[in-house]
């Protein structure tokens, strides 16, 4: 993924990190809504990151999870009361309303709302102002932008969707082809499951591929295959594993920021350096300004929703040499980056 904010060199390390709007400008507007995406473009984000899940009729929609009661008004819609159900997904019992139980015409009637209203009342003030978006809707926004803006599409819960007859690799490959995005240089695809990235490559999807790793747990595709013997994410950050990712055709890894920053605010560069040595780019998520999300050392007075010393944390992470950061308030991340 390249943009005016990065330099193209033989090294995987960018001169300055890309700022990727996490679910749009989700610190200011309800995540994954049209307003959040358009604001991210306006605020100067280098790219936008949506999460991809599927409807019953195979339409890719943009939601953080396939369970949507926390981010839409579905619980207030009596016509959908009978869709409430309980499922076991990736070892967790989840109750609510799920995208795969709706057709797109049904889901398109839902209004978006702020997922964290107590932390973000300003965003919550915009509840109901927009509807659920499809991938095709976001592609149209990006194609209509006055400057190049990248897409970092996260394929969500691929193993689960494949198990219920909705293969996300097939749906995404078809959608990108229809929109002329298959080999678009603005395209990056990421996932917490390496299997689906390989499947997309086999289907001819170009662009860059990034493997997401959490600080705890193991990838759902590995758990489905190996059960309790599945390799934890933390054990996939050694030199051999990182070299294996590069050999498999991946372009980068994306790390939970708690992998890089400790509660006392100190940062650790070894994983970043190791990944760069393997020829991989490194991204980190998620940069947010509220005390609740900051390292303890960077929290300030005012409670969880108050703004903390985010500048120190953002700067420390960027100075590790990461190639990109995911941010809920992309304008503030850009300001820190520009001050490096």
pLDDT tens for 190-210 read 999 999 999 999 999 999 999
End-to-end CA distance of the chain: 21
Q: How far is CA 216 from CA 147, 212, 235, 258, 328, in A?
A: 38, 12, 10, 10, 22
- Joined tokens for residue 335: 């300001």
CB 268 within 8 A of CB 319: no
Asked if residue 3 has pLDDT above 90, the reply is no
Q: What is the CA radius of gyration of the chain?
A: 19
Across 322-337, average pLDDT:
98
Asked if residue 6 has pLDDT above 60, the reply is no
Look at residue 99 in the predicted model and tell me its pLDDT: 98
Torsion of CA 283, 286, 288, 293, to 10 degrees: -130
pLDDT tens for 127-179 read 999 999 999 999 999 999 999 999 999 999 999 999 999 999 999 999 999 99
CA–CA dist 118, 32 (Å, integer): 18
The domain at 18-68+132-338 falls in which architecture?
A: Alpha-Beta Barrel (3.20)
Look at residue 32 in the predicted model and tell me its pLDDT: 98
Look at residue 5 in the predicted model and tell me its pLDDT: 37
Look at residue 7 in the predicted model and tell me its pLDDT: 33
CB 108 within 8 A of CB 17: no
CB 97 within 8 A of CB 87: no
HEC assignment per residue over the chain? CCCCCCCCCCCCCCCCCEEEEECCCCCCCCCCCHHHHHHHHHCCCCEEECEEEECCCCCEEECCCCECCCCECHHHCHHHHHHCEEEEECCEEEEECEHHHCCHHHHCCCEECCCCCCCCHHHHCCCCCCECCEHHHHHHHHHCCCCCCEEEEEECCHHHHHHCCCCHHHHHHHHHHHHCCCCCCCEEEEECCHHHHHHHHHCCCCCEEEEEECCCCECHHHHHHHHHHCCEHHHHCCHHHHHHHHHCCCCEEEEEHHHCECCCCCECCHHHHHHHHCCCEEEEEEECCEHHHCCHHHCCCCCCCCECCHHHHHHHHHCCCCCEEEECCHHHHHHHHHCC
The residue among 140, 202, 34, 66 whose CA lies nearest residue 189 is: 202
CA–CA dist 68, 176 (Å, integer): 24
Asked if residue 14 has pLDDT above 90, the reply is no
Asked if residue 188 has pLDDT above 50, the reply is yes
Across 55-78, average pLDDT:
98
Q: Where are the domains of the chain?
A: 18-68+132-338
Look at residue 15 in the predicted model and tell me its pLDDT: 59
Phi/psi zone of residue 67: left (φ > 0), alpha (ψ -120 to 50 degrees), beta? beta
Across 87-111, average pLDDT:
97
Using a CB cutoff of 8 Å and minimum separation of 24, what contacts does 203-209 make?
A: 203/169, 203/170, 203/173, 204/173, 205/172, 205/173, 205/176, 206/182, 207/1, 207/183, 208/1, 208/251, 208/252, 208/281, 209/249, 209/250, 209/251, 209/252
The residue among 304, 306, 305, 324 whose CA lies nearest residue 314 is: 324
2 or 216: which leads in pLDDT: 216
């Amino acid at each position: 993924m390249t943009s005016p904010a990065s330099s193209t060199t033989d090294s995987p390390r960018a001169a300055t990190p890309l700022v990727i709007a996490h679910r749009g400008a989700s610190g200011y507007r309800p995540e994954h809504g049209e307003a959040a995406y358009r604001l991210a473009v306006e605020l100067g984000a280098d790219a936008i990151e949506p999460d991809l899940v599927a409807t019953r009729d195979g339409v890719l929609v943009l939601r953080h999870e396939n369970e949507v009661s926390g981010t839409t008004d579905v619980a207030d819609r009596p016509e959908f009361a009978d869709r409430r159900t309980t499922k076991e997904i990736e070892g967790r019992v989840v109750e609510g309303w799920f995208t795969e139980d709706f057709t797109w015409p049904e889901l398109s009637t839902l209004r978006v709302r702020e997922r964290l209203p107590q932390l973000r009342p300003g965003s919550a003030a915009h509840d109901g102002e927009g509807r659920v978006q499809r991938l095709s809707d976001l592609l149209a926004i990006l194609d209509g932008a006055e400057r190049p803006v990248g897409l970092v599409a996260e394929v969500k819960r691929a193993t689960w969707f494949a198990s219920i007859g909705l293969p996300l690799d097939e749906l995404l490959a078809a959608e990108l082809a229809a929109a002329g995005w298959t080999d678009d240089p603005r395209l990056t695809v990421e996932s917490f499951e390496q299997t689906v990235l390989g499947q997309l490559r086999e289907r001819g999807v170009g662009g860059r591929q990034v493997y997401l790793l959490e600080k705890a747990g193991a990838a759902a595709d590995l758990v489905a295959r190996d059960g309790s013997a599945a390799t934890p994410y933390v054990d996939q950050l050694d030199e051999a594993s990182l070299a294996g990712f590069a050999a498999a055709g991946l372009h980068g890894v994306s790390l939970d920021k708690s992998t890089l920053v400790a509660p006392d605010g100190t940062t650790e560069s070894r994983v970043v350096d190791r990944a760069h040595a393997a020829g991989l780019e490194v991204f980190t998520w998620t940069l947010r300004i509220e005390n609740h999300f900051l390292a303890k050392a960077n929290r300030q007075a005012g409670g969880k929703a108050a703004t903390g010393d985010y500048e120190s944390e953002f700067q420390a992470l960027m100075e590790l040499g990461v190639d990109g950061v995911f941010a809920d308030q992309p304008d503030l991340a850009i300001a820190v980056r520009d001050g490096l």
